[in-house]
Amino acid sequence: MRSELYIDGQWVKPIKGGTCDVVNPATEEVIQTIAAATAEDVDVAVKAARRAFDKDGWPKLSGAQRAQYLRAIASGIRARQAEIARLEVLDNGKPLPEADWDIADAAGCFDFYAGLAEQRDNNPEETIALADDRFTSKAVKEPVGVAGAIIPWNYPLLMAAWKVAPALAAGCTIVLKPAELTSLTALELAAIADEAGLPPGVLNILTGSGSVAGQAIIDHKGVDKLAFTGSGPVGSKIMAAAARDIKRVSLELGGKSPFVVFEDADIDEAVEWVMFGIFWNQGQVCSATSRVLVQEAIYERFLARLIEETNRIRIGNGLEEGVLLGPLVSKRQYEQVLAAIESARNAGATVACGGNRPEGFDKGYYLRPTVLTDVPLDCDAWVEEIFGPVVCVRPFKMEEEAIELANDSRFGLAAAVMSRDDVRAERVAAAFRAGIVWINCSQPTFTEAPWGGYKESGIGRELGRWGLDNYLETKQITKYVSEDPWGWYIKPEAAE
Catalytic-role residue among 252, 385, 456, 462: 252
β-pairing verdict for 350-353 and 370-373:
antiparallel
Please give the helix or strand (H or E) that residue 291 lies within, else none: strand 291-295
Contact 290, 278 (CB under 8 A): yes
Burial 172-183 (b: 16+ CB within 10 A, else e): bbbbbbbbbbbb
Contact 416, 437 (CB under 8 A): yes
Please give the helix or strand (H or E) that residue 150 lies within, else none: strand 146-150
Contact 161, 188 (CB under 8 A): no
Distance (Å, rounded) from C-alpha 271 to C-alpha 227?
35
Distance (Å, rounded) from C-alpha 13 to C-alpha 215?
19
Please give the helix or strand (H or E) that residue 127 lies within, else none: strand 125-128
* Ramachandran sector of residue 458 (left: φ over 0; alpha: ψ -120 to 50; beta: rest): left
The reply to whether 126 belongs to the active site is: no
Contact 350, 373 (CB under 8 A): yes
Sign of the Cα torsion 246, 250, 253, 259 reads positive
* Ramachandran sector of residue 436 (left: φ over 0; alpha: ψ -120 to 50; beta: rest): beta
Distance (Å, rounded) from C-alpha 394 to C-alpha 145?
48
Residues 110/52/14/73 CA torsion (nearest 10 deg):
20
Distance (Å, rounded) from C-alpha 202 to C-alpha 276?
37
Residues 139/113/225/77 CA torsion (nearest 10 deg):
-160
Distance (Å, rounded) from C-alpha 398 to C-alpha 375?
19
Sign of the Cα torsion 58, 62, 65, 71 reads positive
Contact 403, 429 (CB under 8 A): no
Contact 457, 413 (CB under 8 A): yes
The 10 Å Cβ neighbour count of residue 315 is 24
Residue 207: name the closest of 23, 10, 33 by CA.
33
Which amino acids are annotated catalytic?
252
